Amino acid sequence: MAVGEFDLIRRYFQHPLAQAGARAGVRLGNGDDCALLQPAPGQVLAVSTDMLVQGRHFFPDVAPRALGHKALAVNLSDLAAMGARPLAFTLALALPQIDEAWVQEFATGLLELADAHGCALVGGDTCAGPLNLCLTVFGELPPEQALRRSAAQPGDELYVSGHLGQARLALEALRGRWPLPAAALQRCRQRLEWPQPRVALGLALRGQAHAAIDLSDGLLADLGHVLRASGVAAQMDVPALLASAAVGPELRALALLEPALALTCLLAGGDDYELLFTAPVAARAAVERAGQEAGVALSRIGRIVAMADAGPPCRLVDAQGRPYTLPPGVELAGFDHFA
């Protein structure tokens, strides 16, 4: 490596927010053998790691600034889904060669999002190898307010934030499976490449929501994780979902032309990075305030029920609670990395 590993780190990964005194809780940033973190009194660290592999999670020609953004965004999304406040992160980076213009752009996308969330880059590792990124984020939260996957209770209502399915629709369009008008493709691609983690919503839901998860694998697959962890079942009201704010303009247009593809994107899309959560009926007004505070639309799309002896944990129903039959052609397999 011509520039040298240490020059590269000094030039691009020395984060002002990690300097002593810049961010409460960061006692020491990078440059030593370890960083030193101290959560606020009474709070614990929430820790999560996500790896991004070329060809699997991003195209080789992705804009480096967008890649830097997305690498941190998907990790912050995990903190959001726990109700944690971002504190710091580390970056392990393998680069095929040192292309300074590329690294500069990547670091810009990464650190702009870090600054927006007060999340300090406090360390990492840099080496030569096929392009690969691995981030670990650290957040802080009062442990009793963590939004665990295992906390859904019968009687809870099921909510989702924002619009779903746009990232998947962008992929379908980029793969040539569905033509999209240029402006719609641009908006969907923005969702795919520049996801906005719902950190403010996660914080606002503390003490109100029971269980939460971020939507990375698709609505039904991620709901399945909550149901299994909580030992409960769910009735998802498909007509309510289709009429809700979860369906943005692009999916609404698609639903008229190609309902099966629209349902595939909404129910099994993946890469949404919205929050799916459950909350008791008594918390309805508080949940609504949380959405307003966080500036994101919330949609109520079903409810949690006791686990039945037989049948799938997630039942698709209509407004009267009768089984809802999906049109043929909907692909519901959750995105499986080993499929």
Residues 3-32 within binding reach of ligand ADP (CB under 6 A): 9, 13, 30-32
Would you state the structure tokens that stand for residue 102, as one six-digit string?
Answer: 């590329």
Shortest CA distance to 135 belongs to which of 106, 163, 176? Answer: 106
Shortest CA distance to 148 belongs to which of 83, 208, 217? Answer: 83
Question: In this complex, which beta carbon is closest to Mg ion, that of residue 127 or of residue 281?
Answer: 127
Residues 30-49 within binding reach of ligand ADP (CB under 6 A): 30-33
CA 79 – CA 46 distance, rounded (Å): 7
- Residue 9 interacts with which of ligand ADP, Mg ion, none, CB < 5 to 8 Å by class: ligand ADP
- Residue 96 interacts with which of Mg ion, ligand ADP, none, CB < 5 to 8 Å by class: none
Number of residues that bind ligand ADP (CB under 6 A): 13
Among 43, 48, 75, 126, binds ligand ADP (CB under 6 A): 126
Min CB(78)–ligand ADP separation in Å: 19
Stretch near ligand ADP under the rule CB under 6 A, chosen from 51-59, 122-130, 147-155, 179-187:
122-130
Binding site for substrate: residue ranges? 57, 271, 335
Among 52, 87, 91, 226, binds ligand ADP (CB under 6 A): 91
Are residues 244 and 266 in contact, defined by beta-carbon separation less than 8 angstroms? no
Full DSSP string of 228-281: HHHTEEEEEEHHHHHHSTTS-HHHHHHHHH-HHHHHHHHHH------EEEEE-G
Min CB(125)–Mg ion separation in Å: 4
- Residue 30 interacts with which of Mg ion, ligand ADP, none, CB < 5 to 8 Å by class: ligand ADP
Are residues 211 and 149 in contact, defined by beta-carbon separation less than 8 angstroms? yes
Query: Which residue bears the tokens 């009735």?
Result: 235
Min CB(126)–ligand ADP separation in Å: 4
Stretch near Mg ion under the rule CB under 5 A, chosen from 24-32, 57-65, 124-132, 286-294:
124-132
Number of residues that bind Mg ion (CB under 5 A): 1
Among 99, 112, 125, 293, binds Mg ion (CB under 5 A): 125
CA 80 – CA 203 distance, rounded (Å): 7
Min CB(70)–ligand ADP separation in Å: 16
Binding mask 72-111 for Mg ion (x = CB under 5 A): ----------------------------------------
70 CB burial (10 A radius; 0-12, 13-18, 19+): buried
Its sign, for the CA torsion 257, 261, 266, 269, is negative
243 CB burial (10 A radius; 0-12, 13-18, 19+): middle
Contact flag: residue 125 with ligand ADP (CB under 6 A):
yes
Alpha helices of 45-198 — where are they, by DSSP H?
Answer: 64-82, 100-116, 166-174, 182-193
Positions touching ligand ADP (CB under 6 A) are: 9, 13, 30-33, 91, 93, 121, 123-126
What residue ranges bind Mg ion (CB under 5 A)?
125
